[in-house]
């Protein structure tokens, strides 16, 4: 082989290696971008307490199977968000390069018009995808929190059902069901939009909810926000990006979020079965999450009214099974 041929082969080999390296670096960059998007979604959407619950649920094999759906949705959503950011950034860089080239008269009018047409076509699609991504992120967080809420509800029912079995301290099945509902609602409350008025008749009759709200008031939370947030009802008039992400200070949205979460949460069943001589309770809950993003809300939910809140809702159902605690002494320690 001649020297020229060897040099040509070496250049081809170097070019090939350069392409492989560039492809690897690009894929690594995309992977980091997707992982960063996932981390930001979790950090912005989940409260600190939920991470502890999530870790406990992951260690439980029964909950891990349900969380796989949420984790897969998180991966897909993160990839979508990163793709939108990357594509939008490339388009903006293209427009900027064209603008700079126009200044030095290197781009003909036809090319400038083509870039403007591309931009006008991309912007509506970009906005639609961004709104859909924001709504999907809310729904994904709602699904993950509902999974954790079922975990918390199952543990609550396992502790309180024995109290109802011996009728100690006036506890019955209705009291247990309300305690389970409040436990579940307190977990999903962070993802519940608080920018809209919400109340229901059974919320005012819940003793467990009243105690929790009084605790929030003692910590400085204000319940006057419920009247301040009342807006005109209507499926399409209750769509607002800012309200969906709660722009009010924390002390003004805690009680409305908890109340709305309670109204949107229901305890579907608490069934007891025997497995290997051990009593197991399976608790099933449902949470109806309200879509708040304009244009895309009807894609993610059906028209409905939860309490006095009209909007587009999607129903998320989860269950959890664990051993029932041992029945206590029917006599109270205070007797």
pLDDT digits (tens, 9 = 90+) for 143-167: 889 988 999 999 999 989 888 887 7
% of the chain residues with pLDDT over 70: 67
Looking at residue 244, its pLDDT comes to 72
Task: Identify the band that residue 316 occupies on the pLDDT scale cut at 50, 70 and 90.
Answer: very high
135-136-142 Cα angle (round to 5): 90
The winner for highest mean pLDDT among 18-22, 25-29, 109-113, 273-277 is 273-277
Q: What is the pLDDT of residue 287?
A: 95
Taking Cα atoms as reference points, which of 129, 25, 127 lies closest to residue 79? 129
Q: Locate tokens 């436990």: which residue?
A: 183
The 10s digit of each residue's pLDDT in 87-110 is 777 767 766 666 666 555 555 555
Nearest Cα to Cα of residue 307 among 266, 251, 254, 247: 266
Q: 223: buried, middle or exposed (CB in 10 Å: 19+, 13-18, 0-12)?
A: middle
Burial annotation 251-261 (CB, 10 A radius, 16+ → b, else e)? ebbbbbbbbbb
Given this model, what pLDDT does residue 127 score?
81
Instruction: Check if the beta carbon of residue 136 is closer than 8 Å to that of residue 300.
Output: yes
Question: What are 186-234's pLDDT values in tens digits?
Answer: 999 888 886 666 678 788 888 899 988 888 888 888 775 444 444 434 4
């Amino acid at each position: 082989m001649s020297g020229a041929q060897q040099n040509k082969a070496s250049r081809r080999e170097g070019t090939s290696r350069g392409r492989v390296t560039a492809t690897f670096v690009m894929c690594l960059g995309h992977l980091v971008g997707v992982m960063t998007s996932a981390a930001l979604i979790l950090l912005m959407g989940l409260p600190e307490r939920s991470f502890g619950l999530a870790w406990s649920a992951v260690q439980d094999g029964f909950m891990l199977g349900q969380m796989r759906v949420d984790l897969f949705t998180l991966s897909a959503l993160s990839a979508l968000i990163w793709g939108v950011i990357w594509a939008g950034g490339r388009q903006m860089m293209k427009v900027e390069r064209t603008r700079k080239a126009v200044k030095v008269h290197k781009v003909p009018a036809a090319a400038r018009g083509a870039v403007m047409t591309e931009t006008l076509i991309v912007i509506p699609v970009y906005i639609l995808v961004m709104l859909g991504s924001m709504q999907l992120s809310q729904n994904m967080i709602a699904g993950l929190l509902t999974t954790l809420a079922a975990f918390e509800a199952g543990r609550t029912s396992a502790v309180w059902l024995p109290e109802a079995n011996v009728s100690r301290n006036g506890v019955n099945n209705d009291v247990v069901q309300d305690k389970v509902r409040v436990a579940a609602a307190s977990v999903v409350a962070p993802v519940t939009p608080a920018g809209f008025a919400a109340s229901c008749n059974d919320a005012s009759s819940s003793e467990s909810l009243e105690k929790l709200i009084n605790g929030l008031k003692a910590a400085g939370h204000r319940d006057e926000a419920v009247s301040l947030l009342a807006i005109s009802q209507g499926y399409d008039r209750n769509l607002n990006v800012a309200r969906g992400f709660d722009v009010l200070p924390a002390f003004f949205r805690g009680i409305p979020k908890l109340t709305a979460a309670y109204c949107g949460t229901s305890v579907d069943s608490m069934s007891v079965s025997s497995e290997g001589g051990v009593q197991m309770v399976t608790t099933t809950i449902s949470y109806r999450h309200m879509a708040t993003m304009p244009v895309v809300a009807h894609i993610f939910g059906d028209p409905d009214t939860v309490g006095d809140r009209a909007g587009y809702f999607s129903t998320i159902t989860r269950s959890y099974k664990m051993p029932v605690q041992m029945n206590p002494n029917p006599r109270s320690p205070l007797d």
